[in-house]
Structure 1
Amino acid sequence: MPDTAPGGAPGTADPGPRPDLGLRADCGSCFGLCCVALPFAASADFAIDKDAGKPCPNLQPDSRCGIHAELRERGFSGCTVFDCFGAGQKVSQVTFGGQDWRGSPRGARQMFDVFPVMRQLHELLWYLAEALTLDPARPLHADLRDALEKTERLTLGSAEELSALDVPAHRGEVNALLLRSSELVRAEVPGRRKDRRGADLMGARLKGADLRGANLRGALLIAADLQGADLRSADLIGADLRDADLRGADLTGCIFLTQAQANAAKGDGATRLPPALTRPSHWKR
């Protein structure tokens, strides 16, 4: 369940409306799929090992987390940064028509197989919906709408169709459009734009850095010092922001930043987020 609270900082530009695709997690309409279907290993993010398909010991019979208010204190910070983009309720209520995995041991395995596929499709829907709000990407809007509609149709397939779906191939098609959208947005930033795609910037000292329009797709920014950095119009798709210090940073107008990435980072009351995101409750005020 996302570890967020209302009150994201207003951005400098209105990104326009996003299509209502049910891309925000509704844990009350899900059967705790993220707590069962996915594996995790004992680490700084999780206090214990858990195999895929095995219920987390903290999962209660009503599909709620028994330690939700204490996840970070109890060593489960990884749970607080996970976001299914609404895939949990789609699988629970649409694909399987409200059938709880507890009542169908045979169908449970199929449900657990479908959930990560749906999660990837919903993440793509999130990015496509955002791309359709980007004015510089207007020349691509027709193609983006087609990709969004195709992806949405895929999410409505049967469990068998979803299990057989070639997700990497579809992701590749969508990513090509997202990259072109990114290029159009970043091209409007004056001056030389940094290209740090996939760069290893773990622990990098980037305090106050001018990263406007930077390509940070897939960059490793774990524990990087980004205090006061200017990240406007930067592409952050897939960037690893775990423990990155975003205090005072300006992320208004950055593109393809997700709530999970913000949740994984450190920030404060001076951090400026895109309007579509909310300020994580664990950030300092």
Structure 2
Amino acid sequence: MEKRSLVTATSFCMSVLALVLLVTAIFTDHWYETDTRRHKRNCDRYGAESNDQKNREMPIYHLPLVDSTGSGGGGGTGGSRRNSVALMKPIHVGSREEELLENWRAILGMGILETECGRPLFPTHSGLWRKCYFRGVDPDIDRLISKGIADRCTAVKYHFSQPIRLRNIPLNLTRTIQQDEWHLLHLRRITAGFMGMAAAVLLCGSVVSAVGFFWEEKLTQHVSGLLFLMSGIFCTISLCTYASSVTYDLSRNPPFIYGLPGDVDHGFG
């Protein structure tokens, strides 16, 4: 009897500890990390002649910009506005779609994204709910955050936004981007759903294990054991789907927007 009570107490303590660790994992922002310091050193060393690294302090598609000269000036200024990124000033991501699209067209028209060193990459860490920049690792992103140009953390999307047709992107590529976005959202939802179910089942198992101190100890041990096994299966599924979502995101087209250069270190936290 004492041995069985010891097993029940051990099971209960382990389940509570596992529940605390699981909840911590759900809300942490260190599931996946990227380190771009080696990439920056390589670009500074071998790509200095192209001045690509100057774009690190000029936010691109994830840091929208707007023309500081205003929308006036007639139709003749449209081309010069698209070709003059130096005259742009930062705006926040909730601005009008027309302004965001105009920045997209300007950037894509210049073609600066197609070079590995022309795309600004910074060290990041992300979880189920947020993607954040590391502070104190890269002075460029620290400067952008301190000036209010970039947000340190952005929310991970779990809803499909209304697709927007971009002028400078072919229709078939636009459809591919939209389809990839839809599949990626499905993987993210599956990951979050199974993590939530794992936490709920683990909580139920802990409650059943605690009931074993007062009623039908042998039966509650079997039930709580099955619940713990289910929770482990759900966690395994969620880890697999999260790894699949990261791999899928990095393999999306076009690669010069979604992929990572070979000298960028990245891995799971």
TM-score range, shorter chain: under 0.3
Structure in which a larger fraction of residues adopt helix: 2
TM-score (structure 2 length as normaliser): 0.24
When Rg is computed on C-alpha atoms for both structures, the one with the higher figure is 2
Task: Report the TM-score, using the length of structure 1 for normalisation.
Answer: 0.23
Higher relative contact order (CA closer than 8 Å, sequence separation 6+) = 2
Determine which structure has the larger strand proportion and give its number: 2
